[in-house]
Amino acid sequence: MKRNFLILFLLTITFTLAGCSRENNYDIDYECSKDYKGASLSILNWGDYMDPELYKEFEELCNAEVVYEEATDNETMRTKLLSGGTKYDILVPTDWMVNFLSQENHLSTLDFNLLPNFNNINSIYKNLTFDTNNAHSVPYFWGTVGIMYNKAELAEIGVNESELNDWNILWDDRFGDNNIEVYQSVRDVFMFALKSSGKSANTTNTAEIDAAKQKLIDLNQINKLKFATDTIKIDVVEGNAVLGITFNGDFLNMYSELKAEGSEINIGWAFPNQGTNKWYDNFVIPNVSENKELAHEFINFFLDEKVSYYNTLYVGYSTPNKEALELLKVDDVFKDIVALPAYQPSNEMIEKSEAYTYPGSTLFDYYNNSFQQFRNE
């Protein structure tokens, strides 16, 4: 799920599609490489972010015990790891935290001889900026930031849906005050300001950050932004906001609810042409792990096409597993969701978009301070 490293919170999406809560009659033909003779595996993941029935299947297949803990944000995950209280075997941090933990030398180098199912991962999700060559991480789920909009409200102010293909539309005075809602998320706010000027969302150039800050100040004078939380999706559906700069999971959540209720689908989703943020949650194995072979086995199990398929039905987010995606495309319940661009953007859009990287402590503070200066104007 989307985790932001400057304003940290847990975004929980629950899909309400009729039929998503199905009996777990799993058809899994995975074969473990060995009998692990009751060995224990400690996992630290996000809440409700893995089908518990699947790791119970793993326990039975591999004769192992899974000890599963949950964290509410990336910093908590890091704190738990560094506290030394538990020698975790697997973590599931977001892209920037993978980058951070790697810089701090807390992550093991993966042995891909033990991960044959890594071949199931689509190549466009490999070798990304936060972990080149996937030395320390394997993608688990991913998502994007974009523009969720109310179709009727947009038409009422005279803006065409096609105009949302450019981030600069946010500076159009037809929107007026408090009709554009955003999360109080430093990097996401700076992302659309930077992207609107053709700059990288990961820029380390302070002059570009300053220019983006000024552009945000100008935006607030034209169309005063409304900062909100996970109420953005509801405000857009109910017409209390025209636009929301939010996560694709928010849109998919409300789309599925409206569909399940038989209500009119009065919302749309847009990816501006300049690209956006694409985020990734990832399996990693910390150096402190005492069960690295078993940890690789567990990761390989969740990379299996059927396991990934069943797990995606449970979690609801976009899978990087190309074989699982093919199964989802013909699933009676999920196929309509998979067909939406919000779930599976074009390869061109993915290539234009960026995962956030940790900029180092100095620039971390610079982004934070610049955001506060913008908010104080």
What pLDDT digit, counting tens, does each position of 63-121 carry? Answer: 999 999 999 888 889 999 999 999 999 999 999 999 999 999 999 999 999 999 999 99
In sequence order, what are the residues at sequence separation of 6 or more whose Cβ sits closer than 8 angstroms to the Cβ of residue 101? Answer: 78, 81, 91, 93, 107, 136, 284, 286
Query: What is the mean pLDDT of the segment spanning 341-355?
Result: 91
pLDDT tens per residue, range 42-65: 999 998 899 999 999 999 999 999
Segments of the chain assigned to CATH 3.40.190.10: 39-142+280-344, 143-277+356-376
Sign of CA dihedral 229, 233, 234, 239: positive
Q: Identify the pLDDT of residue 75.
A: 85
Cα distance between residue 377 and residue 371, in whole Å: 10
Query: What is the mean pLDDT of the segment spanning 8-34?
Result: 58
Question: What CATH number is given for 39-142+280-344 in this structure?
Answer: 3.40.190.10
**Residue 89 burial (C-beta neighbours within 10 Å; 0-12, 13-18, 19+):** buried
Residue 19: what residue type? G
Q: Report yes or no: 173 and 190 within 8 Å, Cβ to Cβ.
A: no
> How far out from the chain centre does Cα 217 lie?
28
pTM for this predicted structure: 0.81
Comparing 41-55, 157-171, 253-267, 283-297, the range with the smallest average pLDDT is 253-267
pLDDT at 332 over 70: yes
HSE toward the beta carbon, residue 81, CA cutoff 13 A: 30
Query: What is the mean pLDDT of the segment spanning 308-318?
Result: 91
Q: Identify the pLDDT of residue 256.
A: 85
Question: 143-277+356-376, what's its fold?
Answer: D-Maltodextrin-Binding Protein; domain 2 (3.40.190)
Q: Identify the pLDDT of residue 22.
A: 41
Q: Identify the pLDDT of residue 250.
A: 87
Q: Identify the pLDDT of residue 280.
A: 95
Nearest partner of 256 among 327, 154, 335, judged by Cα:
335
Which two three-digit tokens encode residue 247?
A: 């996560």
pLDDT-based confidence at residue 347 (cuts at 50, 70, 90): confident
User: What are the backbone dihedrals phi and psi of residue 321, each rounded to the nearest 5 degrees, phi first?
Assistant: -85, 110
In sequence order, what are the residues at sequence separation of 6 or more whose Cβ sits closer than 8 angstroms to the Cβ of residue 234? Answer: 240, 254
